[in-house]
Amino acid sequence: MKKFLESRYLRLIILVSGIFATSHLALAQTQYVLSNDDLAFPFLTGVGFFTIGANGLPVFQEQVHTGTFGIGGGYFGMNRLAVLDSGTQQCVFASEALNAFIVGVDVSTLTVGGITSGSDTDAGTTNGIGMVMNGNYLYASFSDSNTIGTFAVQPGCSLTFIGDTSVIGFHGGVINGMALHGAMLITSYTDGSIESFTISGGTPISNGDEQLSTATVTSQDATYANAIDITKDGHYAIFGDTSTALSVEVSDISSGKLTKTTIYKSTASISSSNILLSPDETILYVVNTQGATVSALFFDKNSGKLSAGCTSGPLAGLSQNWSYLAGAVLMSQSGNGGGVYVAEFGTVSGIATVPLSFSGQKCSLREAKGSPTADPNTPGLLSIGSFPPRSF
Amino acid sequence: MRGMSKWVLAIAVCGFPFLKPMAQDCPARPATGTMVADPYSISSKGGALTAQFTLGHSVDSAGYTHFCYKYQAPGQVVEAPTLRVNPGDVINLNVIDGLTPDNSMKMDMGAPSSPPCGDGGAATINSTNVHFHGMNVPPVCHQDDVINTLIQPGSAGFQYNVHVPTTEPPGLYWYHPHVHGFTEFQVNGGAAGALIVNGMEKVRPEVAGLTERVFVIRQQYLVPWIPGPYELTLNYQTSFLAQFPVIDMKPGEKQFWRVANATLQDFLQLQVQVNGTAVPLEMIALDGYPLAQTRNQTTILVPPAGRAEFIVQAPSSGSAIFVTNAYSTGPTGNADIAATLATIQTTNTTASSHMPESTPPTADGVKFRNFAMQPATTQRKLYFSEEFGGTNGPIQFYITVDGQKQKVFEPNEQPVITTKVGAIEDWTVENRALETHAFHIHQIHFRVLEIDGKPAANTDLRDTIEIPYWEGKGPYHSVKLRMDFSDPTTAGTFLFHCHILLHEDLGMMHKILVTP
């Protein structure tokens, strides 16, 4: 054996393999901003891959065709992309709402891995299919059938459907946002309900804590929870509200169940359907879906409290090119995230770049020069993703 | 926003019954590219206008849904005739719901909790009633109540006895169905007509002796509530490619045009263009109320449900066009596209059509003339706002009294504003949405005091006014309006709302109670 290892041939093999592995790894670790090009029939949809230019703006590289169809719209708070960077495989899963397919794309080869569907009744043709995942399972929220499909992650960026869990809001609401942490999955519904599930066994089992969010019950702005994020330690769940104001709610989930949410609101902008915690959890980015702005709120991960931060001006192209802001991803996967990339939904969709800066304790969000970057493949961009994903 | 939520709701709840072939019981529409005729006109006699309308329904060969008010004129059935009355008259209008009950359409909006007026029952797409838009008449059963009045298919009909005040301003009003949840369906492409209170020439002598034209601009979508292309029609005549309705004028002739915006949601920017240049239009009245002074404008913005009355002078030779320019209703609004409404051709053979003689003006003068001089007894702030959970909904459209919880209109709701006869109120109405809205209140006209916090250049009396969308920064656009509830006939419960009919149907509306 030793003799073999010392052979010139073996050393050559190891060297070549090492170079190959290194280059493969380098390709896989390229930072991407991803788009779910949610084209409606008859246009085949796909996943757009953007690299980051020297100026920080996304640069379109290519679209991986998924061979399926989208719907070109839907709920703001749904993530139509789920990213896996497990160490053994790097995948992007895109939901294709018209066909109710979930398509896996191998990030290292930019090729389609598996195409999977749920049950025959799973459907999201009206408002889309949201997704969240961990290393073992992907959960898909089908907004028409009001079901959560559980899929087991398989090699080759493919999935195996396990089963459905039927869900419904307190007043008949439709499933909207989802987030997971450890053995807990949290959902929001369009009637203002929120609910948590245990996913330790794979398939979600309700924790019996479904409730209307505090804002839904008390706010004068007729608010309801939409997108969800969870702190790294699983102590707090944060809800971005669809609202006529900027409204965010926080629930202490350290008990393993949802508790009554605390409302944080401001008239600085309109709606907060998409939110995102920074990697260091000091900043909560809020996409003011209808207000055409992005806000950064200061978050205290120890107390779960939010405080006023800063709000950008209206992003460029409002009204002319796009009507709504939608999903967001971090510009950096470390520190305060450095700002966000934001999807712009309209006839000319694009990805806005909104860096965060500080002057002392005062923050500032300003859209970068040259922003937005046009997405050439979709007129209706709602969901973007990042590879590698945030660590939690 | 012509969002898809209503479409989704309709599909989910009803399927596609409105796409099925249906009875073709509306009168034929005029051919494209022909001379525009004024609507058939019915005038009051001996202090009363008596007529019977039957609501019908058709789908034309292009697939456009039409609802229609049918009237049996001598020798022909006509559609949505112009009602002409004098101040002090009574409108005795019997309305029959001639729609075929369609049991496949399960969607209904429930029944009002107040004592029903008319047939009662649940409000469905087949129910109807009539709102006399802009008329300063009582909000009571058999007059201008739309909260509790329902006319159902198969019933003998419902009798309106609308008492036009002796002080009613002369001008152009209009009538249309107003069943909550279904107004857009029935107004789409059809069920709307002009109502004229005679006497404009007594108040604005400039129009005396001029040929009068009555133009009702309607809008039709292939299927109401489904986003998509639409058509504007002029007195039911469509345009197609380069073929437009034709308006005849003598060279250099001045005509008095009375134009009603009976569209679902189009903000019209009207112009008459000669060789591509907009010519001055001599403004006479807005929303059925004569202006304090005539003024020249080259563009007249008429929000949905608004009316404009103005003098047009034909070119000395050649032709002109009557157009609406494109209008931005904001990022979440619909694009109101530019359109040629008609070509104006000049010919010496044009027939003249003068306004009917009206009764002499009464000693009472014209309502609301002086109320702006009186101090307001109450100040209120209201605002429009919208909430989108996604591109396809759920979408909530709100009009809210500041300080109250935002909610959409429910037929059984309590009034959100209570005031009393004699009150003079100033309402500041803001638009906090990224879409332009059109504020309308039933039963009264209001005076425009301020626009965006500054004194209005023209303190006109209106019943509908546009409030532009918020640009995402800076203060909200707003109007300050003086409301006069001093007339005892305003006592009762009535509505204020956005007159983009989708918004109204989805609940951007509330009740006001005026106590005696």
pLDDT tens for residues B348-357?
A: 876 666 676 6
Residue B4 pLDDT exceeds 70: no
Instruction: Tell me which residue in B390, B404, B472 faces A127 most closely, judged by beta carbons.
Output: B390
Mean pLDDT for the stretch of residues A256-274: 92
Strands (E), B60-191: 65-73, 76-79, 82-85, 90-97, 117-118, 131-133, 149-150, 158-163, 171-176
Give the pLDDT score at B12: 35
**Band of the pLDDT at B54, cuts 50, 70, 90?**
very high
B339-346 and B246-249 beta bridge pairing = parallel
User: For B75-94, what is the mean pLDDT?
Assistant: 96
Q: Return the pLDDT at B115.
A: 75
Dihedral sign, CA of B341, B347, B348, B349? Answer: negative
Mean pLDDT computed over B64-85: 94
Q: Fold for domain B207-346? A: Immunoglobulin-like (2.60.40)
Average pLDDT over all residues of chain B: 89
Does the fold of domain B207-346 match that of domain B5-199?
yes
In this prediction, residue A26 carries a pLDDT of: 40
A2 has pLDDT over 50? no
Short-list B351, B319, B182, CA closest to B246: B319
A316 confidence band (pLDDT: 50, 70, 90): very high
Instruction: Take residue B383 and report the two structure tokens written for it.
Output: 């605002």
* Yes or no, beta carbons of B331 and A322 under 8 Å apart: yes
Q: Which two tokens stand for residue B242?
A: 């380069």
Higher pLDDT, A300 or A21: A300
Q: Examine the pLDDT at B361 and tell me if it is beyond 50.
A: yes
Confidence at residue B348, expressed as pLDDT on a 0 to 100 scale: 80
Q: What is the DSSP letter of A29?
A: T
pLDDT of B264 reads 94
ipTM of the complex: 0.82
Helix (H) or strand (E) holding A23: helix A8-28
Q: Does residue B15 surpass a pLDDT of 60?
A: no
Selected for mutation to probe chain A from B5, B384, B387, B407 (highest A CB count within 10 Å) is B387
Please say if the pLDDT value at position A14 is more than 80.
Answer: no
Computed over every residue of chain A, the mean pLDDT equals 90
Work out the pLDDT band at B365, boundaries 50, 70, 90.
confident
Q: Provide the pLDDT confidence category of residue A25 given band limits of 50, 70 and 90.
A: very low
Q: Does B385 touch chain A (CB under 8 A)?
A: yes
pLDDT at site B103: 45
Alpha-carbon gap: B345 to the closest alpha carbon of chain A (Å): 36
Residues of A with CB under 8 A from a CB of B: 73-78, 126-128, 176, 190, 219-224, 226, 242-244, 269-271, 273, 289-293, 313-314, 318-319, 322-324, 345, 380, 382
pLDDT score recorded for residue B158? 97
**CATH superfamily label, B5-199:** Cupredoxins -  blue copper proteins (2.60.40.420)
Q: What average pLDDT score do residues A238-248 get?
A: 93
How close does chain B come to A33, measured CA to CA in Å?
A: 22
The predicted structure's pLDDT at residue B350:
62
- Express each pLDDT in B187-218 by its tens digit: 987 899 999 999 999 889 999 999 999 999 99
The pLDDT score that the predictor gives to residue B351 is: 66
Kindly report, residue by residue over A186-236, the tens digit of the pLDDT. 999 999 999 999 999 999 999 999 999 999 998 777 789 999 999 999 999
Residue contact B403–A128, C-beta within 8 A = no
- Could you read off the pLDDT of B142-179 as tens digits, one per residue? 999 999 999 999 999 999 999 999 999 999 999 999 99
Locate the domains of chain B by residue range. Answer: 5-199, 207-346, 371-515
- Residue A21 confidence class, pLDDT cut points 50, 70, 90: very low
Find the mean pLDDT for residues B373-386.
92
pLDDT band at B472 (very low <50, low <70, confident <90, very high): confident
User: For the segment A91-127, what is each residue's pLDDT rounded down to a tens digit?
Assistant: 999 999 999 999 999 999 999 999 999 999 999 999 9
pLDDT at position B357 is: 66
Report d(CA A322, CA A289) in Å as an integer: 11
Q: How many CB atoms lie within 10 A of CB B243?
A: 14
Under the banding of pLDDT at 50, 70 and 90, the label for residue A263 is: very high
- Mark yes or no for CB contact B388/A313 under 8 Å: no
Integer CA distances (angstroms), A127 to A344, B444, B486, in order: 17, 42, 49
What's the pLDDT band for A318 if we cut at 50, 70, 90? Answer: confident
* Record: contact B391-A219, CB cut-off 8 A: no
B403 touches chain A (CB under 8 A): yes
Predicted pLDDT of residue A205: 98
Domain ranges of chain A: 1-30, 33-387
Q: Are B48 and B92 in contact (CB under 8 A)?
A: yes
Instruction: Give me the percent of chain B exceeding a pLDDT of 70.
Output: 88
Candidates A91, A102, A92; CA nearest to A128 is A102
Q: Give residues 407 to 426 of B whose Cβ lies within 8 Å of A.
A: 407
What value does the mean pLDDT take over residues B6-11?
39
Check pLDDT > 60 for residue A242: yes
Contacts with B410 from chain A: Cβ below 8 Å: none
Chain A residue with the nearest C-alpha to that of B397: A244
Residue B21 has pLDDT above 50, yes or no: no
Query: What per-residue confidence (pLDDT) applies to B334?
Result: 82
Q: B102 falls in which pLDDT band (50, 70, 90)?
A: low
> Based on C-alpha coordinates, what's the Rg of chain B?
21
Which class would CATH give B371-515?
Answer: mainly beta
Question: A89 pLDDT band (50/70/90 cuts)?
Answer: very high
CA-based nearest residue in chain B for residue A322: B331
Of A73, A319, A380, the CB nearest to B328: A319
Q: Tally A–B CB contacts below 8 A.
A: 101
Task: Report pLDDT for B168.
Answer: 94
Mean pLDDT of A312-340: 93
Query: In terms of CATH, what superfamily is A33-387?
Result: YVTN repeat-like/Quinoprotein amine dehydrogenase (2.130.10.10)
**pLDDT value, residue A319:** 76
Confidence of residue A179 (pLDDT cuts 50, 70, 90): very high
User: What pLDDT does residue A220 have?
Assistant: 76
pLDDT given for residue B13 in this prediction: 36
pLDDT at B23: 58
Whether the pLDDT of residue B233 is over 60: the answer is yes
A77/chain B closest Cα distance in angstroms = 8
Helices and strands, number each (H, E), in chain A: 3, 30
Q: Which residues of B188-206 are buried (b: 16+ CB within 10 A; e: fewer)?
A: bbbbbbbbbbbbbbbbbee
Q: What whole-number distance in Å separates Cα of residue B212 and Cα of residue B215? A: 10
Q: Using a CB–CB cutoff of 8 Å, tell me whether B472 touches chain A.
A: yes
The answer to whether the Cβ–Cβ distance between B391 and A243 falls below 8 Å is: no
Contacts of B48 (CB under 8 A, 6+ apart): B89, B90, B91, B92
Interface residue B330 vs chain A (CB under 8 A): yes
Percent of chain A exceeding pLDDT 90 equals: 79
CB contact under 8 A, B406 and A221: yes
Q: CB-CB: which of B391, B407, B472 is closest to A73?
A: B391
